Structure formats: structure tokens, C-alpha cells
């Protein structure tokens, strides 16, 4: 069974450009999370989908970030326009349920904004 996959693995863009990150969760997992790790800091929560609905988006830094999960399968995270401080590694995780369900992580997308 395939794990959580993220694309691209690495993206280099210039300040002001737009980037879209994609996450394919494990098949059948209704819960999908986005996290990010900026340089030297801990991994921090961004938002949580249950199927196609946003359950919690309290970690989204500002309105330059837009996450979608149309159809409740894969998710995209768009940053528009990108700023230097958006550089970091963006992780996606999925779980089969809420509560005590284990979250399985993808390898992340490393975003470099120049």
C-alpha cells in the first residue's frame, strides 16, 4: 500500500511567485493534515481536513495560504504570493480516523523562496 506522497519534493521560486504543493494521502484516510517546518524550528500544524471539509485551520499563517481538498482525496496548498519567510519544509500527514488514530507523514516538500 502506498504511503503519503507529496509533490514536488523540492521547489525553488522567487519572492512574489505562486507555488502549489500537492499531497496524496493514504487511500481511505479521511483525515489530512498540513504541517511545516521553517529553518531551525519545530514542525508546526497548519490545518486539518476531514474529507473535503476544513476541520481546523488555526495554524494557517495568513491569507496568502490556501488549502483545498476537493472531492476529499488529494489536497493542494497554494502560496500566493510567496514571501521569503515561507521557506521551509511542508509536510502532509493522513490518518484513518480522528481520536487516537496514528498520523502517517509524507517526506515533505522543501520550498525555497529566493
Note the residues at the interface with another protein (CB under 8 A).
3-4, 31, 33, 35, 41-45, 48, 55-56, 58-59, 91, 93, 95, 98-108
Min. distance of Cβ 101 from another protein in angstroms?
Answer: 7
Nearer to another protein, 61 or 81 (CB): 61
φ/ψ (deg, to 5) at 5: -115, 140
* CA 54 to chain centroid: 13
Min. distance of Cβ 25 from another protein in angstroms?
Answer: 13
Nearer to another protein, 3 or 8 (CB): 3
Burial bucket for residue 86 (CB in 10 Å: 0-12, 13-18, 19+): buried
Nearer to another protein, 17 or 26 (CB): 26
> Is residue 54 classed as helix, strand or coil in its secondary structure?
strand
> Is residue 84 classed as helix, strand or coil in its secondary structure?
helix
Amino acid at each position: 500500500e502506498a504511503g503519503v506522497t507529496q509533490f514536488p519534493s523540492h521547489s525553488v521560486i522567487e519572492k512574489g511567485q505562486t507555488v502549489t504543493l500537492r499531497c496524496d494521502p493514504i487511500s481511505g484516510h479521511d483525515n489530512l493534515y498540513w504541517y511545516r517546518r521553517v529553518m531551525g524550528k519545530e514542525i508546526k500544524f497548519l490545518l486539518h481536513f476531514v474529507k473535503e471539509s476544513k476541520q481546523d485551520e488555526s495554524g494557517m499563517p495568513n491569507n496568502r495560504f490556501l488549502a483545498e481538498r476537493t472531492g476529499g482525496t488529494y489536497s493542494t496548498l497554494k502560496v500566493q504570493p510567496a514571501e521569503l519567510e515561507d521557506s521551509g519544509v511542508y509536510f502532509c500527514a493522513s490518518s484513518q480516523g480522528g481520536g487516537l488514530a496514528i498520523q502517517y507523514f509524507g517526506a515533505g516538500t522543501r520550498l525555497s523562496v529566493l
